[in-house]
Amino acid sequence: MAQIHLIHLLSLLTFFSLSTAARFPAVIVFGDSTVDPGNNNAIDTILRSNFPPYGRDFKNAVPTGRFSNGKLPTDFISEALGLQPLVPAYLDPACSIENFTKGVAFASSGAGLDNATSNLLTAMSLGEEVEYFKEYQHKLRKYVGKSRANYIVNEAVYIVSIGTNDFLSNYFTMFTGRFLQFTVDKFEDFLVSHAAEFLTNIYKLGARKILFAGLSPIGCLPVERSTNLIREGQCKTMFNEVARNFNAKLQRMIADLGIKFPGLRLIYGGVYDLFSEIINNPSRYGIENVEDGCCATGKFEVAFLCDSRHPLTCRDASKYLFWDAFHPTEKTNYLIGDVTLHLILRELI
Protein backbone atom coordinates (compact mmCIF):
# COMPACT_ATOMS: atom_id res chain seq x y z
CA MET A 1 0.00 0.00 0.00
CA ALA A 2 2.72 2.45 1.02
CA GLN A 3 4.74 1.62 -2.07
CA ILE A 4 1.80 2.12 -4.37
CA HIS A 5 1.07 5.43 -2.73
CA LEU A 6 4.64 6.66 -3.23
CA ILE A 7 4.84 5.48 -6.81
CA HIS A 8 1.61 7.30 -7.45
CA LEU A 9 3.06 10.50 -6.00
CA LEU A 10 6.27 10.13 -7.97
CA SER A 11 4.37 9.73 -11.21
CA LEU A 12 2.41 12.86 -10.39
CA LEU A 13 5.64 14.77 -9.89
CA THR A 14 6.95 13.54 -13.21
CA PHE A 15 3.68 14.38 -14.89
CA PHE A 16 3.74 17.91 -13.51
CA SER A 17 7.36 18.44 -14.40
CA LEU A 18 6.48 17.76 -18.01
CA SER A 19 3.32 19.80 -18.16
CA THR A 20 4.32 22.83 -16.13
CA ALA A 21 7.92 23.41 -17.13
CA ALA A 22 8.48 27.09 -17.80
CA ARG A 23 5.23 28.19 -16.18
CA PHE A 24 7.28 29.43 -13.25
CA PRO A 25 10.70 30.79 -14.19
CA ALA A 26 12.12 30.44 -10.67
CA VAL A 27 11.58 29.30 -7.08
CA ILE A 28 12.59 31.91 -4.49
CA VAL A 29 12.77 30.91 -0.85
CA PHE A 30 12.74 32.74 2.49
CA GLY A 31 12.64 31.39 6.02
CA ASP A 32 14.45 29.13 8.46
CA SER A 33 16.18 25.72 8.55
CA THR A 34 13.16 23.96 7.07
CA VAL A 35 14.17 25.57 3.75
CA ASP A 36 17.80 26.75 4.19
CA PRO A 37 20.07 24.93 1.72
CA GLY A 38 23.24 26.17 3.42
CA ASN A 39 23.27 29.94 3.83
CA ASN A 40 24.41 29.45 7.41
CA ASN A 41 27.66 27.88 6.14
CA ALA A 42 28.67 31.42 5.21
CA ILE A 43 27.69 33.24 8.40
CA ASP A 44 29.08 33.29 11.89
CA THR A 45 26.79 30.86 13.71
CA ILE A 46 26.81 27.53 15.53
CA LEU A 47 23.59 26.52 13.78
CA ARG A 48 25.17 24.53 10.96
CA SER A 49 24.86 21.13 9.39
CA ASN A 50 27.58 21.07 6.74
CA PHE A 51 29.19 17.92 8.11
CA PRO A 52 28.28 14.21 8.19
CA PRO A 53 25.90 12.57 8.79
CA TYR A 54 23.85 15.48 7.39
CA GLY A 55 23.37 14.98 3.66
CA ARG A 56 24.06 11.26 4.07
CA ASP A 57 21.59 10.21 1.37
CA PHE A 58 22.81 12.60 -1.30
CA LYS A 59 24.92 11.14 -4.08
CA ASN A 60 28.46 11.07 -2.57
CA ALA A 61 26.87 11.88 0.82
CA VAL A 62 27.60 15.60 0.48
CA PRO A 63 26.70 17.60 3.60
CA THR A 64 25.44 20.81 1.99
CA GLY A 65 24.21 22.62 5.06
CA ARG A 66 20.65 21.35 4.69
CA PHE A 67 19.28 20.17 8.03
CA SER A 68 18.30 16.75 6.70
CA ASN A 69 19.76 13.55 5.28
CA GLY A 70 18.93 14.78 1.78
CA LYS A 71 16.70 17.22 -0.05
CA LEU A 72 14.34 19.85 1.33
CA PRO A 73 10.69 20.32 0.26
CA THR A 74 11.71 23.33 -1.84
CA ASP A 75 14.26 21.20 -3.75
CA PHE A 76 11.55 18.68 -4.67
CA ILE A 77 9.23 21.49 -5.76
CA SER A 78 11.92 23.16 -7.88
CA GLU A 79 12.76 19.87 -9.57
CA ALA A 80 9.12 19.00 -10.24
CA LEU A 81 8.61 22.41 -11.85
CA GLY A 82 11.37 21.59 -14.32
CA LEU A 83 13.84 23.96 -12.65
CA GLN A 84 16.98 23.04 -10.68
CA PRO A 85 17.06 19.78 -8.68
CA LEU A 86 18.52 21.71 -5.75
CA VAL A 87 17.69 25.33 -4.91
CA PRO A 88 21.07 27.05 -4.35
CA ALA A 89 21.92 29.09 -1.25
CA TYR A 90 22.40 32.78 -2.01
CA LEU A 91 25.53 32.93 0.15
CA ASP A 92 27.17 29.81 -1.35
CA PRO A 93 30.66 31.03 -2.36
CA ALA A 94 30.67 28.52 -5.26
CA CYS A 95 27.65 30.27 -6.82
CA SER A 96 27.08 33.61 -8.47
CA ILE A 97 24.17 35.26 -10.25
CA GLU A 98 24.33 32.82 -13.19
CA ASN A 99 23.35 30.05 -10.76
CA PHE A 100 20.36 31.99 -9.42
CA THR A 101 18.31 32.73 -12.53
CA LYS A 102 16.05 29.70 -11.90
CA GLY A 103 15.81 30.07 -8.18
CA VAL A 104 17.62 30.94 -4.99
CA ALA A 105 17.13 30.61 -1.24
CA PHE A 106 17.74 33.42 1.25
CA ALA A 107 16.57 31.30 4.19
CA SER A 108 18.76 31.03 7.29
CA SER A 109 18.62 28.27 9.89
CA GLY A 110 17.49 29.69 13.22
CA ALA A 111 15.62 32.62 11.71
CA GLY A 112 12.33 33.81 13.17
CA LEU A 113 9.60 36.32 12.44
CA ASP A 114 10.75 38.03 15.63
CA ASN A 115 14.22 39.60 15.32
CA ALA A 116 14.91 38.41 18.86
CA THR A 117 14.70 34.82 17.61
CA SER A 118 17.26 35.35 14.86
CA ASN A 119 19.52 37.22 17.29
CA LEU A 120 19.31 34.47 19.89
CA LEU A 121 20.16 31.75 17.36
CA THR A 122 22.75 33.86 15.48
CA ALA A 123 20.81 33.55 12.23
CA MET A 124 20.06 36.12 9.55
CA SER A 125 16.96 38.11 10.40
CA LEU A 126 14.11 38.14 7.92
CA GLY A 127 15.01 41.78 7.27
CA GLU A 128 18.51 40.72 6.23
CA GLU A 129 17.04 38.05 3.96
CA VAL A 130 15.05 40.81 2.24
CA GLU A 131 18.20 42.96 1.90
CA TYR A 132 19.87 40.08 0.05
CA PHE A 133 16.77 39.75 -2.12
CA LYS A 134 17.22 43.41 -3.13
CA GLU A 135 20.89 42.81 -3.91
CA TYR A 136 19.88 39.73 -5.94
CA GLN A 137 17.46 41.77 -8.05
CA HIS A 138 20.13 44.36 -8.72
CA LYS A 139 22.56 41.66 -9.90
CA LEU A 140 19.85 39.89 -11.89
CA ARG A 141 19.01 43.09 -13.83
CA LYS A 142 22.66 43.48 -14.75
CA TYR A 143 22.96 39.83 -15.78
CA VAL A 144 19.76 39.14 -17.76
CA GLY A 145 18.54 42.66 -18.48
CA LYS A 146 15.79 44.65 -16.87
CA SER A 147 12.75 43.20 -18.57
CA ARG A 148 13.77 39.54 -18.15
CA ALA A 149 14.71 40.23 -14.52
CA ASN A 150 11.33 41.82 -13.86
CA TYR A 151 9.63 38.84 -15.49
CA ILE A 152 11.55 36.41 -13.26
CA VAL A 153 10.79 38.41 -10.11
CA ASN A 154 7.07 38.80 -10.92
CA GLU A 155 6.40 35.27 -12.14
CA ALA A 156 8.55 33.27 -9.72
CA VAL A 157 6.87 31.20 -7.03
CA TYR A 158 7.90 32.42 -3.57
CA ILE A 159 7.96 29.94 -0.71
CA VAL A 160 8.22 31.17 2.87
CA SER A 161 8.63 28.80 5.83
CA ILE A 162 9.28 30.30 9.25
CA GLY A 163 7.87 30.54 12.78
CA THR A 164 8.81 27.35 14.64
CA ASN A 165 11.89 28.93 16.23
CA ASP A 166 9.84 31.89 17.48
CA PHE A 167 7.92 29.56 19.75
CA LEU A 168 10.31 26.72 20.55
CA SER A 169 13.61 28.57 20.83
CA ASN A 170 12.39 32.00 21.83
CA TYR A 171 9.01 32.30 23.58
CA PHE A 172 8.81 28.99 25.44
CA THR A 173 12.47 28.90 26.46
CA MET A 174 12.08 32.31 28.11
CA PHE A 175 15.59 33.29 26.97
CA THR A 176 14.49 36.52 25.33
CA GLY A 177 11.97 37.93 27.78
CA ARG A 178 9.13 37.77 25.25
CA PHE A 179 7.45 35.40 27.72
CA LEU A 180 7.21 38.24 30.23
CA GLN A 181 6.26 40.83 27.65
CA PHE A 182 3.41 39.02 25.88
CA THR A 183 0.76 36.41 26.60
CA VAL A 184 1.12 33.61 24.07
CA ASP A 185 -1.98 34.91 22.29
CA LYS A 186 -0.47 38.41 21.97
CA PHE A 187 2.85 36.92 20.85
CA GLU A 188 1.03 35.10 18.05
CA ASP A 189 -0.51 38.43 16.98
CA PHE A 190 2.91 40.08 17.14
CA LEU A 191 4.40 37.39 14.88
CA VAL A 192 1.51 37.51 12.42
CA SER A 193 1.86 41.30 12.13
CA HIS A 194 5.55 40.87 11.33
CA ALA A 195 4.71 38.21 8.77
CA ALA A 196 2.34 40.73 7.15
CA GLU A 197 5.08 43.39 7.19
CA PHE A 198 7.48 40.95 5.50
CA LEU A 199 4.92 39.95 2.85
CA THR A 200 4.18 43.61 2.14
CA ASN A 201 7.90 44.25 1.69
CA ILE A 202 8.43 41.48 -0.83
CA TYR A 203 5.20 42.43 -2.66
CA LYS A 204 6.58 45.96 -3.04
CA LEU A 205 9.75 44.41 -4.43
CA GLY A 206 7.77 42.57 -7.11
CA ALA A 207 6.76 39.20 -5.61
CA ARG A 208 3.27 38.21 -6.81
CA LYS A 209 2.87 34.45 -6.30
CA ILE A 210 3.58 33.56 -2.70
CA LEU A 211 3.01 30.51 -0.55
CA PHE A 212 3.44 31.05 3.18
CA ALA A 213 3.74 27.79 5.10
CA GLY A 214 2.07 27.33 8.46
CA LEU A 215 3.47 25.48 11.46
CA SER A 216 3.60 21.72 11.90
CA PRO A 217 2.50 20.13 15.21
CA ILE A 218 5.56 21.62 16.94
CA GLY A 219 4.78 19.80 20.19
CA CYS A 220 5.49 16.48 18.43
CA LEU A 221 9.09 17.27 17.46
CA PRO A 222 11.38 14.67 19.09
CA VAL A 223 13.03 17.33 21.25
CA GLU A 224 9.64 18.35 22.65
CA ARG A 225 8.51 14.77 23.27
CA SER A 226 11.71 14.03 25.18
CA THR A 227 11.30 17.12 27.38
CA ASN A 228 7.64 16.42 28.15
CA LEU A 229 7.77 16.04 31.92
CA ILE A 230 4.05 15.47 32.36
CA ARG A 231 3.54 12.66 29.87
CA GLU A 232 6.91 11.23 29.00
CA GLY A 233 7.55 10.72 25.30
CA GLN A 234 4.17 12.16 24.28
CA CYS A 235 3.53 15.26 22.17
CA LYS A 236 3.17 18.54 24.08
CA THR A 237 -0.48 19.15 23.33
CA MET A 238 -0.35 22.74 24.49
CA PHE A 239 2.34 23.55 21.89
CA ASN A 240 0.25 21.91 19.17
CA GLU A 241 -2.69 24.04 20.20
CA VAL A 242 -0.52 27.15 19.93
CA ALA A 243 0.54 26.05 16.43
CA ARG A 244 -3.10 25.61 15.39
CA ASN A 245 -4.09 29.02 16.79
CA PHE A 246 -1.15 30.67 15.09
CA ASN A 247 -1.99 28.94 11.80
CA ALA A 248 -5.60 30.15 12.00
CA LYS A 249 -4.46 33.76 12.52
CA LEU A 250 -1.95 33.41 9.73
CA GLN A 251 -4.68 32.21 7.38
CA ARG A 252 -6.87 35.22 8.20
CA MET A 253 -4.00 37.65 7.64
CA ILE A 254 -3.15 35.93 4.34
CA ALA A 255 -6.75 36.19 3.13
CA ASP A 256 -6.85 39.91 4.06
CA LEU A 257 -3.54 40.80 2.42
CA GLY A 258 -4.47 38.85 -0.71
CA ILE A 259 -7.47 41.15 -1.16
CA LYS A 260 -5.61 44.33 -0.25
CA PHE A 261 -2.86 44.19 -2.88
CA PRO A 262 -3.72 44.15 -6.59
CA GLY A 263 -2.22 41.29 -8.57
CA LEU A 264 -1.07 39.46 -5.47
CA ARG A 265 -1.74 35.74 -5.23
CA LEU A 266 -0.95 34.76 -1.70
CA ILE A 267 -1.80 31.35 -0.26
CA TYR A 268 -1.40 29.50 2.98
CA GLY A 269 0.54 26.23 2.80
CA GLY A 270 -0.65 24.00 5.61
CA VAL A 271 1.60 21.14 6.69
CA TYR A 272 -0.02 20.53 10.08
CA ASP A 273 -2.52 17.99 8.80
CA LEU A 274 0.08 16.10 6.79
CA PHE A 275 2.26 15.65 9.89
CA SER A 276 -0.75 14.51 11.92
CA GLU A 277 -1.68 12.06 9.18
CA ILE A 278 1.83 10.56 9.13
CA ILE A 279 2.00 10.41 12.93
CA ASN A 280 -1.36 8.63 13.06
CA ASN A 281 -0.79 6.31 10.08
CA PRO A 282 2.97 5.89 9.67
CA SER A 283 2.80 2.51 7.93
CA ARG A 284 0.81 4.06 5.09
CA TYR A 285 4.04 5.93 4.23
CA GLY A 286 6.48 3.12 4.98
CA ILE A 287 7.48 4.91 8.18
CA GLU A 288 8.18 3.02 11.40
CA ASN A 289 9.31 5.69 13.82
CA VAL A 290 7.55 9.05 14.25
CA GLU A 291 8.89 9.84 17.73
CA ASP A 292 12.69 9.95 17.54
CA GLY A 293 15.13 11.50 15.11
CA CYS A 294 17.29 9.10 13.10
CA CYS A 295 20.50 10.83 14.19
CA ALA A 296 22.15 9.69 17.44
CA THR A 297 19.66 9.00 20.27
CA GLY A 298 17.09 11.01 18.34
CA LYS A 299 15.94 12.66 21.56
CA PHE A 300 17.73 16.00 21.55
CA GLU A 301 20.62 16.03 19.05
CA VAL A 302 20.66 18.73 16.40
CA ALA A 303 23.49 20.58 14.57
CA PHE A 304 26.94 19.71 16.00
CA LEU A 305 25.41 17.22 18.47
CA CYS A 306 24.28 15.10 15.54
CA ASP A 307 27.63 13.35 15.23
CA SER A 308 28.52 10.85 12.51
CA ARG A 309 30.26 8.53 14.98
CA HIS A 310 27.22 8.06 17.19
CA PRO A 311 26.47 4.32 17.35
CA LEU A 312 22.71 4.78 17.67
CA THR A 313 22.20 6.65 14.39
CA CYS A 314 19.64 4.72 12.36
CA ARG A 315 20.53 2.88 9.17
CA ASP A 316 17.52 3.71 7.03
CA ALA A 317 16.29 7.27 7.45
CA SER A 318 13.36 6.64 5.12
CA LYS A 319 11.71 4.73 7.96
CA TYR A 320 11.76 7.85 10.13
CA LEU A 321 9.60 10.96 10.17
CA PHE A 322 12.45 12.99 11.70
CA TRP A 323 16.10 13.11 10.77
CA ASP A 324 17.41 14.90 13.88
CA ALA A 325 15.52 15.98 17.00
CA PHE A 326 14.12 19.01 15.16
CA HIS A 327 14.07 18.40 11.40
CA PRO A 328 12.25 16.03 9.02
CA THR A 329 13.92 13.34 6.94
CA GLU A 330 14.20 13.64 3.18
CA LYS A 331 11.28 11.22 2.98
CA THR A 332 9.06 13.59 4.97
CA ASN A 333 10.37 16.55 2.98
CA TYR A 334 9.31 14.77 -0.18
CA LEU A 335 5.77 14.33 1.17
CA ILE A 336 5.65 18.00 2.24
CA GLY A 337 6.95 19.03 -1.18
CA ASP A 338 4.29 16.95 -2.90
CA VAL A 339 1.39 18.44 -0.92
CA THR A 340 2.79 21.94 -1.36
CA LEU A 341 3.33 21.47 -5.09
CA HIS A 342 -0.31 20.50 -5.54
CA LEU A 343 -1.39 23.71 -3.81
CA ILE A 344 0.97 25.78 -5.95
CA LEU A 345 -0.30 24.21 -9.16
CA ARG A 346 -3.92 24.65 -8.13
CA GLU A 347 -3.76 28.18 -6.76
CA LEU A 348 -0.76 30.06 -8.15
CA ILE A 349 -0.53 29.22 -11.83
Ligand X SMILES: *[C@@H]1O[C@H](CO)[C@@H](O)[C@H](O)[C@H]1NC(C)=O
CB of 7 to ligand X, least distance (A): 30
Q: How far is the CB of 347 from ligand X (least distance, A)?
A: 27
Sheet holding 157-161, edge to edge: 103-105, 27-31, 157-161, 209-213, 265-269
Q: Which regions of the chain does DSSP assign to beta strands (E)?
A: 27-31, 103-105, 157-161, 209-213, 265-269, 289-293, 320-322
Name the one range near ligand X by CB under 6 A: 35-43, 92-100, 132-140, 334-342: 92-100
3-state secondary structure 218-253: HHHCHHHHCCCCCCCCCCCHHHHHHHHHHHHHHHHH
204: contact with ligand X by CB under 6 A:
no
> Catalytic one among 33, 78, 108, 125?
33
Q: Using the rule CB under 6 A, give the single segment among 93-101, 141-149, 247-255, 266-274 that binds ligand X.
A: 93-101
Closest by CA to 103, choosing from 158, 168, 63, is: 158
* 32 scored as a contact of ligand X (CB under 6 A): no
Strand partners of residue 265: 209
Rg over alpha carbons for the chain, rounded to the nearest Å, is 19
Site membership for ligand X, residue 205 (CB under 6 A): no
60 binds ligand X (CB under 6 A): no
What's the min distance (Å) between Cβ of 195 and ligand X?
Answer: 9
DSSP alpha helix (H) spans, 81-215: 115-120, 126-144, 146-155, 164-165, 178-181, 184-204
Collapsing DSSP states into helix, strand and coil, what is residue 24? coil
318 included as an active-site residue: no
Work out whether 177 is an interface residue with ligand X (CB under 6 A): no
> Binding ligand X by CB under 6 A: which of 98, 229, 262, 280?
98
- H/E stretch holding 78: helix 73-80
Q: Which stretch binds ligand X (CB under 6 A): 11-19, 95-103, 293-301, 339-347?
A: 95-103
94 sits near ligand X (criterion: CB under 6 A): yes
Specify the stretch interacting with ligand X by CB under 6 A; choose among 90-98, 141-149, 255-263, 305-313: 90-98
| 129 touches ligand X (CB under 6 A) | no
Annotation says 324 is catalytic: yes
Give min distance, CB of 269 to ligand X, in A.
Answer: 21
Size of the site for ligand X (CB under 6 A): 10
Residues in contact with 45: Cβ distance below 8 Å, sequence separation at least 6, in sequence order: 109, 110, 121, 122, 123
**Angle 73-80/2-19 helices, nearest 10 degrees?**
50
Footprint of ligand X on this chain (CB under 6 A)? Answer: 94-95, 98-99, 114-115, 125, 127, 194, 197
Catalytic residue IDs = 33, 324, 327
